[in-house]
Homo-oligomer: A and B are copies of this chain.
């Protein structure tokens, strides 16, 4: 019997007149959609459309919560108070859930975005604040993040359901953390290598780190991108290769 793996991607990251990535094409490839909720990207109309299309395609809807920073696309660390961060998280989930429900679906998981995602790998106070915001929405809500993050650890301790993801196009350290983007070799650009790593991660649960060590990352989901040229094509290849390797590609929240 084969393994099952999820493919997740960031979606609905336009704003008003501005679009980003090809949401419709990506929704035909992924099994989980991290939908921006209006704080760092996304607006009500975009959220409605992505939710409708996701439900039509059988794609799970996740709340891609971020810092309140449209100008910075949520990519700048903000030293926000824990209470305000928890409230911002709850607000975003609630707003998205209204669209998910109107489309016949629901918010079935939460995945933090950008600088918030990176911050709560190590920032205990903000990590706990995100946990608190999510838990106020639903005490057993699944959350998706790096396996080595403080966030996943605190999520588990608070009763949320933590799920680890992996990046097929990022280099790893021997301790399971990502090589920072500021370092050479942090991002893997060769499509064939990306596809091969996705299959390795999904089938074996392991990935080869930058020092040659084999690390166990056991992802339930692999993150693919949609906002660069060729990204949708690459995601499509990843999906095909996973299927060819005997893996079932399905939402991790099923």
From A18, A70, A83, name the one whose CB has the most chain B CB atoms within 10 angstroms.
A18
Chain B residues whose CB sits within 8 angstroms of the CB of A77 once the complex forms: 77-79
CB distance from A98 to the nearest CB of B (A): 2
Report whether A96 and B99 are in contact in the complex, using a CB–CB cutoff of 8 Å. Answer: no
Contact of A98 among B14, B20, B90 (CB under 8 A): B90
CB distance from A27 to the nearest CB of B (A): 18
- A102 interface hit (Cβ, 8 Å): yes
- A48 interface hit (Cβ, 8 Å): yes
Closest B residue, CB atoms, query A79: B77
* 8 A Cβ contacts from A85-131 to B: 87-88, 90-99, 102, 115
Give Cα A203–Cα B71 distance, bound, in whole angstroms: 44
From A38, A71, A90, name the one whose CB has the most chain B CB atoms within 10 angstroms.
A71
- Beyond A18-B15, A41-B17, A102-B137, is A80–B72 a contact (Cβ under 8 Å)? yes
Instruction: Digitize A63-75: 1 where CB-to-B-CB distance is under 8 Å, 0 elsewhere.
Output: 0000011111101
Closest 6 CB pairs of A and B: A94-B98, A18-B18, A44-B87, A17-B73, A77-B79, A44-B91
- List 11 A-B residue pairs with CB atoms under 8 Å apart, sorted by A's residue number: A16-B73, A17-B20, A17-B41, A17-B73, A18-B18, A43-B87, A91-B99, A93-B98, A94-B98, A95-B95, A95-B98
